[in-house]
């Protein structure tokens, strides 16, 4: 399908004009900080950029001159499916992260809301209103103590969690053999990412006219944003519908997947259908923006950007 649209557009890099103000349309090598800078500050947590190889004294200065407080989140400015995202509790942990990070990274306030969803948004440039095309809810890697089993035993009892066991062991160290009190719940991986163990649930049935109105109104405040997934944390669904008590974790552009396809209840054919639907949206939006004067990415530059994207991905994976 991509090849078909690439032939029609005469370039495999037609996605560049999908979101003209986001580097490469948000498909590869895009800076999270540059995307945050397009979003009104009221919608996302306080965020600061730390440049690669920065002296730690400068990092401390950036942190102390911001309003960010411990604990906070550190994550790569150019991300890869939740890799190298960590909660930082103190200066020692920040120093370790900084010394290991051979890439630009962000420090960001924790969002104080317990629930997270991914909301896919689409708007055609020739239309006044956009729409929500899918919602994914996320179940975190949470264990509940029984007063007998250790953390490791509780983790191994869940096949999904067991896949994350080595990373969890690194994070919790000596606590790995701790016995949780009965009824005590512990979130082992506080990141709503599929690759980090979160379970994705299709919540598209929650799409309402009011939610469409709220999300569309917010997205229209983001310059030239037409296609992508908003990862959002919120307090209650009623508040989110009303546009209250929520925050954007981040926005993914042309590289976004309609992640509700990963609900285990869905078939492969359902996933293909949804991917085809969204690739078609992206192509049509890109064509319309191209006709408005926004260029496609030239092939030579596109290949250079793709190479840089792979190099960055390798750094993050090896972090």
Is the pLDDT confidence value at 59 over 80? yes
Six token digits for residue 207: 């799409």
Is the pLDDT confidence value at 22 over 90? yes
pLDDT (tens digit per residue) in 67-86: 899 999 999 998 777 778 89
Say which CATH topology domain 1-45+112-136+219-312 has. D-amino Acid Aminotransferase; Chain A, domain 1 (3.30.470)
Six token digits for residue 21: 């103000």
Q: What is the pLDDT of residue 173?
A: 81
Rg over alpha carbons for the chain, rounded to the nearest Å, is: 20
Q: Which long-range contacts (CB under 8 A, 24 or more apart) does 240-244 make?
A: 240/117, 240/211, 240/214, 241/208, 241/210, 241/211, 241/214, 242/210, 242/214, 243/214, 243/217, 243/218
Residue (of 64, 138, 67) closest to 94 by Cα position: 64
Over residues 120-124, mean pLDDT: 98
Over residues 35-44, mean pLDDT: 96
- The chain-wide mean pLDDT, for the chain, equals 93
Contact 116, 138 (CB under 8 A): yes
Contact 97, 85 (CB under 8 A): no
Over residues 14-19, mean pLDDT: 96
- Distances in Å between the alpha carbon of 66 and those of 61, 62, 202? 9, 6, 37
The structural domains of the chain, with segments of one domain joined by +, span 1-45+112-136+219-312, 46-110, 141-189
DSSP element (H, E) containing 315 = helix 299-317
Enter the pTM of the model: 0.89
Three-state secondary structure call for residue 166: helix
Is the pLDDT confidence value at 141 over 90? no
DSSP element (H, E) containing 1 = none
Cα–Cα distance for residue pair 308/170, rounded to 1 Å: 29
Q: What is the pLDDT of residue 25?
A: 95
DSSP element (H, E) containing 133 = strand 131-139
pLDDT (tens digit per residue) in 209-219: 999 999 999 99
Residue (of 104, 98, 113) closest to 45 by Cα position: 113
Q: What is the pLDDT of residue 261?
A: 97
Is the pLDDT confidence value at 295 over 80? yes
Residue (of 81, 118, 133) closest to 284 by Cα position: 133
DSSP element (H, E) containing 269 = helix 268-291
Is the pLDDT confidence value at 270 over 90? yes
Say which CATH topology domain 46-110 has. Dna Ligase; domain 1 (3.30.1490)
- As a 3-state breakdown, the chain gives helix, strand, coil percent values, each rounded to 5, of 45, 20, 35
pLDDT (tens digit per residue) in 176-211: 889 989 999 988 877 667 777 889 999 999 999 999
């Amino acid at each position: 399908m991509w090849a078909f649209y690439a032939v029609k557009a005469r370039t495999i890099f037609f996605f560049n004009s999908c979101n003209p103000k986001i580097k490469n349309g948000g498909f590869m090598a895009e800076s999270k900080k540059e995307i945050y800078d397009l979003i009104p500050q009221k919608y996302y947590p306080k965020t600061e950029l730390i440049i690669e190889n920065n002296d730690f004294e400068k990092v401390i200065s950036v942190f102390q001159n911001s309003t960010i407080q411990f604990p906070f989140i550190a994550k790569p400015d150019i991300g890869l499916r939740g890799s190298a995202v960590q909660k930082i509790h103190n200066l020692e942990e920040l120093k370790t992260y900084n010394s290991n990070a051979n890439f630009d990274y962000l420090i960001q306030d924790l969002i104080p809301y317990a629930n997270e969803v991914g909301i896919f948004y689409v708007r055609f440039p020739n239309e006044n209103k956009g729409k929500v095309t899918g919602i994914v809810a996320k179940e975190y890697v949470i264990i509940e103590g029984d007063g007998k089993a250790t953390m490791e035993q509780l983790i191994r009892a869940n096949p999904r969690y067991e896949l994350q066991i080595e990373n969890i062991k690194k994070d919790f160290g000596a606590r790995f053999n701790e016995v949780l009190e009965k009824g005590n719940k512990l979130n082992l991986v506080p990141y709503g990412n599929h690759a980090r163990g979160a379970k994705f649930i299709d919540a598209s049935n929650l799409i309402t006219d009011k939610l469409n109105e709220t999300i569309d109104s917010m997205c229209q405040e983001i310059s030239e944003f037409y296609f992508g997934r908003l990862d959002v944390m919120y307090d209650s669904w009623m508040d989110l519908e009303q546009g209250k008590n929520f925050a954007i974790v981040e926005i993914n552009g042309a590289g976004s997947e309609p992640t509700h396809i990963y609900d285990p209840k869905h078939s492969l054919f359902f996933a293909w259908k949804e991917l085809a639907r969204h690739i078609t949206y992206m192509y049509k939006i890109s064509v319309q923006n191209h006709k408005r004067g926004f260029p496609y990415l030239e092939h030579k530059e596109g290949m250079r950007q793709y190479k840089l994207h792979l190099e960055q991905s390798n750094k993050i994976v090896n972090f």
